[in-house]
Amino acid sequence: MTDNRIGVVGILVERKECAHAINAILSEYRDIVVGRIGVPYRERNLSVISLIIDGSTDEVGAMTGKLGRLQGVKVKTALLTK
């Protein structure tokens, strides 16, 4: 077994046009996503997505890197070793 990390990824989405690209990336990394919740925050004109993840640092870094390169998307990650 690889040295997997359990963690939380917070994603702020400022542009609705990014939704399709975000969903495509999350689908690509579905094997490391344990849970997902998305909430539209209408008062601030953005959406917030929270992910619970379980994967290697390479997998998590690849996923968050792709997400972070999307214009209008901000990503923060907190990882723990089990």
Per-residue model confidence as pLDDT tens digits over 47-61: 999 999 999 999 999
Domain 5-77 has CATH 3.30.70.1150: yes
Do 33 and 53 contact (CB within 8 A), yes or no? yes
Above 70 in pLDDT, residue 2?
no
AA letter at 4: N
Phi, psi of 53 (to 5 degrees): -125, 155
Above 90 in pLDDT, residue 82?
no
C-alpha–C-alpha distance, residues 16 and 32, integer Å: 24
